[in-house]
A and B are shown apart, each in its own frame.
Chain A
Amino acid sequence: MPHDHADHDHDNHLDPMDARVRALETILVQKGLIDPAAVDAIIDTYANKVGPRNGAQVVARAWSDSAFAEWLARDATAAIASLGFTGRQGEHMQAVFNTPAQHNVIVCTLCSCYPWSVLGLPPVWYKSPAYRSRVVIEPRAVLAEFGLTLPDATRIRVWDSTAELRYLVVPMRPNGTDGLDEAALADLVTREAMVGTGLPRVPA
């Protein structure tokens, strides 16, 4: 299960970096290289507008509409764009579907490539050297740290995002969700389920 680690690095270095970034922004504004309001607008986009609810809508639509699921499998970029989700770090999308036989998990071992247009900015764990180094050599051990233990018979496919293709995992629809509409289904779809380090929530 996810848990707090009070005893180690949280990818968070406060004071010296605060001064360093402020100094750089000051210079860039003085020199006419950037508009600080553009910086604000970028932050607002990823803090408030683009995030994993986008991807959850894609998955919920795929669960509800087999024609959409087929389109998503064939041309994920176009199918996702039809829901209004396009752009930076989502220019070339691929959807990979979990099955009883195969579970998919996404990583970028070389940096932290992540499908921003559907999941927003990556969490610290996705960017961490621990995840990037380990998930290709011991995915079952890594998934167990997320609380996900798969049957030995389930194959695992690890997708290393080495180029500009960005991957979205489409998890299997949970049992007991037959009566749910798309909005209720989307509420079950977590960020981790769409990276492959988790499964969707089960309805209460």
Chain B
Amino acid sequence: MNGPHDLGGRMGFGPIPLEVDEPIFHADWEARALGLTLTCGALGGWTLDESRHARESLPPAVYYGSSYYEIWERALERLLLRHALVTEDELASGQAAAGEPHPRRLPAARVPEVLASGGPTDRPISAAARFQPGDRVRARLMHPKTHTRMPGYLTGHFGVIEADRGGFVLPDTNAHGDGENPERLYTVIFAAAQVWGQGAEPGVTISADLWESYLDPA
């Protein structure tokens, strides 16, 4: 979906908000929101792709009016509701009945190991590569209403394959519980002058990492 998150090339957002000696967190709640998002993610109810889709599905006025961790908090509440881990009444009251520990509750002792191992999304893939480095391709012209990692500013534009990165989980299906469907991922280079046309800054190229089904031969 080309929702409020799909920001490449959009205008009107003003100067870059630089801050001298920026703290890692600007408030305690930001740190807690980070920790809650990661500990709830460890319950295994949803994928990283589904959580991204929950954030980008916030109404545009909410998305643009919210800080980064506020977006995380709001999306986490939606995910917990969707997966029946909390109820609207509990969120409204701020209280819940005591429950037995969830079988996948993340204990503090396992945090170092979980963070250090992460969640690799590369997958073996047996299908032959459809594209080779140097091939000219077109970023497929598409506007799915569901999750995608095709940025709106590149869809329909022509580029060149730079590298074949091997198989990776396809976010477009994985975000919706429709399976990992791994596909080959390519780094594709686009000339800014071709993407933006008249007035583009000189000497600029842009690359994106795009799945095979995002690309057509050109």
Contacts and interface: CB of A to CB of B under 8 A. Distances in A.
A12 B29 contact: no
Contacts of A40: 35, 108
B33 interface: yes
A51 B22 CA distance: 13
A179 interface: no
Contact of A133 (B10, B96, B185, B192): B10
B144 interface: no
Interface in B201-216: 201-211
B9 A30 contact: no
Interface stretch (A56-64, A89-97, A168-176, A180-188): A89-97
Given A124-B68, A152-B203, A33 B35 contact: no
Interface in B15-50: 15-20, 22, 24-29, 31-36, 38-40, 43
A204 interface: no
Contact of B36 (A9, A21, A47, A90): A21
Contacts of B200: 137
Contacts of B97: 30-31
Nearest to B35: A39
Contacts, number: 306
Contacts of A155: 203-205
A86 B125 CA distance: 24
A121 interface: yes
Contact of A12 (B27, B116, B150): B27
Given A3-B20, A125-B17, A28 B40 contact: yes
Interface in A99-118: 109-112, 117
B10 A27 contact: no
A21 B201 contact: no
Interface residues of A, number: 88
Interface string B139-168: 000000000011101100000000001001
A25 B192 CA distance: 45
A68 interface: no
A31 B99 contact: yes
Contact of A110 (B102, B149, B187, B207): B149
B176 to A, nearest CB: 17
B96 A31 contact: yes
A139 B36 CA distance: 35
B22 A124 contact: yes
A47 to B, nearest CB: 5
A26 B94 contact: yes
A132 B209 contact: no
Contacts of A158: 192, 204-207
Given A42-B34, A121-B24, A164 B168 contact: yes
Nearest 9 interchain pairs by C-beta:
A39-B35, A23-B94, A163-B209, A109-B8, A37-B108, A41-B111, A130-B13, A32-B101, A88-B118
Given A17-B73, A20-B73, A138-B201, 10 more contacts: A25-B36, A31-B99, A32-B102, A43-B25, A89-B118, A110-B6, A137-B200, A145-B15, A163-B210, A164-B169
Interface of B: 5-11, 13-20, 22, 24-29, 31-36, 38-40, 43, 52, 55-56, 64, 66-70, 73, 76-77, 80, 85-86, 90-91, 94-102, 105-108, 110-112, 114-122, 149-151, 153-154, 165, 168-169, 171, 185, 187, 189, 192, 196, 200-211
